[in-house]
Amino acid sequence: MLIAYNTPAALAAPAPAGVVLLWDGPRGSPGAARNAAAARAGGEWLVFADADCEPAPGWMDGWFAPAPDDTVGVLVGAIRDTAVGDGVAARVAGATGGLDQRVTLANPYLPYGVTANLAVRSSAFRAVGGFEEERRIAEDADLCWRIQRAGWALEERPNAGVDHRSRETLVELWRQRTQNGAAARWLAGHYPGAMPQWNLLALARDSVLALRRGDPALSAAVVSGWWAFEAGRRAPGWMARRSGRLRRLWP
């Protein structure tokens, strides 16, 4: 097993038996870390999961039953958000589905999966050059789309599941939504027609309707997440370049 990471410095902790730790050096992006692991891997398929995910029983078998056709380049596994505690942020994750891959698979431009639970055929991965290393988020959608545009197919594997720890506080949730909005802006710029902007009047109307029904605290948290996404989507690029710290937060 290869564990790649993108911390500011190499970890001093020893690796468990059968595990190789790979630091991506000064590059500091998830894509760079995954590319470093992919360069060391020797199998036909590269299976990716994130550090905040716990594989469900039968996870590995679920990828290859049935065996994918030779034309398939990407397999998308299932992700179930598991709430930590009973706070509002945890309840939002339970209500909205968080990283539910059924959402990404239904993308109207092209389906994609997130690397919290994704398998990519090695030959397809290398043919398109792997992950975009300058991105801190959206590199998974970009990879899936480049592979499909190169002629490979994408398939869902619902029996290959992981449990994903959802964000524990509203601040973490808002930060994630803002990053997702900025990622959508980047994808839309590189793939015309992908990730269309929300209409602000429609968003305001839907926000009012949502706040009028159900649990007020939960509804307010969900609505605030919508607006955090849109703020990230519409924020000018100079905000991401103001400091090194913002560059690390912004995708």
Compute CA 9 distance to the chain's CA centroid, rounded to the nearest angstrom. Answer: 23
Residue ranges of domains in the chain: 1-167, 169-251
Specify the pTM. 0.80
pLDDT tens per residue across all 251 residues of the chain: 777 766 666 777 777 777 777 666 666 678 888 898 898 888 899 999 988 889 999 999 999 999 999 999 999 999 988 876 667 776 776 666 667 888 899 998 999 999 999 999 999 999 999 999 887 788 999 999 999 999 999 999 999 999 988 777 778 788 888 888 888 888 988 998 888 777 778 878 877 887 777 777 778 878 888 788 888 888 765 344 433 333 343 34
- Tell me how far apart the alpha carbons of residues 196 and 178 are, in angstroms, rounded to a whole number: 16
**Tokens 């190499």 label which residue?**
10
CB 32 within 8 A of CB 6: yes
Reported CATH class of domain 1-167: alpha beta
pLDDT for the residue 205:
81
Q: Which of 83, 93, 84 is nearest to 221 (CA)?
A: 93
CB 144 within 8 A of CB 64: no
Q: Which of 2, 1, 6, 3 is nearest to 30 (CA)?
A: 6
